[in-house]
Copies of this chain bind each other. A is one copy, B any other.
Amino acid sequence: MPTTTRQWLLNGHPRGRGIEIDNDFRLVEAELPDPGQGEMLLKTHYLGFDPAQKGWMENIADYVAPMNIGDVMRGSGIAEVVASNGGRFAVGDMVFGTTGWTEYLVTDGKELTRVETELSPTAVLSVLGTTGLTAYCGLFKVGKPVAGDTVLVSGAAGATGSIVGQLAKIAGCRVVGIAGGKDKCDWLVREAGYDAAIDYKAGGVKEQIRELCPRGVDVIYDNVGGKILNDMLACIATGARVVICGGISRYETGSLPAGPENYFNLVFRRGTMAGFIVLDWASEFPGIRKRLEGFVKGGSLKYQEDIQHGFENAPQTLQRLFTGQNRGKQMLKL
């Protein structure tokens, strides 16, 4: 049994700037207590990464508990129960949840869930994890598409965006995605089943949306913010629903993305723009996971995982999200 564990601690709040790997994190060796009554010792096998982690590091959002300097970096993971003192899971069980960036942890496991899927175990961090749940809830509970709607997704080749598009296809919609670069756009159409893709790096985003969505956009699922959101708002159909999922453009500078001046189209088009926090539907997650798993097994939902290696590379792996290097859900195998 190990008595210490390596951990990545938060060492800086990246406000108003990008993440600085050397300054914002600190790798330490920490003591591991013996599991108390009802506790277990867990060994982390995978970490999952999400752009929201930068927001947590900034400690300015208040929808989650604040992260302070010296805290173990918060994040999702898959871990194995290696010892139990009357804990709720058995030795050998694989569990997932907010494990944090630590090789081992002692926990009562109340916030963790047993991995039970016919897919690969890593699916609980990707298509069955927050990524898939965010895609599902944002699209169906906020965007509320109906068959025949045109759905436009920004950050479409990202982990969430690629699932959003496929769910919209399953729901009978026409789906257009916006992504950066020809490779990603080709992948959207050939592999992810998008009806069309727009390469924002090639310019003319608004003109391309107009051409590809001649009757206007009924549902926008925005992962990006900034100018792309503004261009999308210029093209909404009457009664459009605009789902604000993320603003990855804000992470480049750390400041909020520019405000979309075309918000006023919400008046002309009787549109609605809404944000959401996926945790609000936590009670429904087990049922939604079953649906997502069913879509994958049925062949209508594909997902990509980008698996890096080595616990020491956790900060660099997070950074990949903000440089657009990842293709699909970013994970790290310890």
| A contacts, CB < 8 Å to B | 61-63, 225, 230, 244-247, 250, 256-277, 280
How many Å from the CB of A182 to the closest CB on chain B? 29
A266–B256 alpha-carbon span in the complex (Å) = 12
Q: Which residues of B contact A277 (CB under 8 A)?
A: 267-268, 270
A244 adjacent to B266 (CB under 8 Å):
yes
B270 adjacent to A273 (CB under 8 Å):
no
A272–B280 alpha-carbon span in the complex (Å) = 15
A-B contacts, 16 of them at CB < 8 A, read A63-B268, A244-B263, A244-B264, A244-B267, A247-B264, A258-B261, A259-B259, A259-B262, A259-B263, A260-B263, A263-B263, A263-B273, A266-B274, A266-B275, A267-B276, A271-B275
Identity of the chain B residue whose Cβ is nearest the Cβ of A265 in the assembled complex: B275
How many Å from the CB of A168 to the closest CB on chain B? 20
Closest 3 CB pairs of A and B: A259-B259, A267-B275, A266-B275
How many Å from the CB of A283 to the closest CB on chain B? 15
Q: Which residues of B contact A245 (CB under 8 A)?
A: 267
Q: A261-B256, A263-B259 are in contact. Are A272 and B274 (CB under 8 A)?
A: yes
How many Å from the CB of A277 to the closest CB on chain B? 6
A98–B277 alpha-carbon span in the complex (Å) = 45
A246–B267 alpha-carbon span in the complex (Å) = 8
Q: Which residues of B contact A244 (CB under 8 A)?
A: 263-264, 266-267
Identity of the chain B residue whose Cβ is nearest the Cβ of A64 in the assembled complex: B268
How many Å from the CB of A50 to the closest CB on chain B? 14
Q: Which of A247, A258, A261, A277 has the most chain B CB within a 10 Å cutoff? A: A261
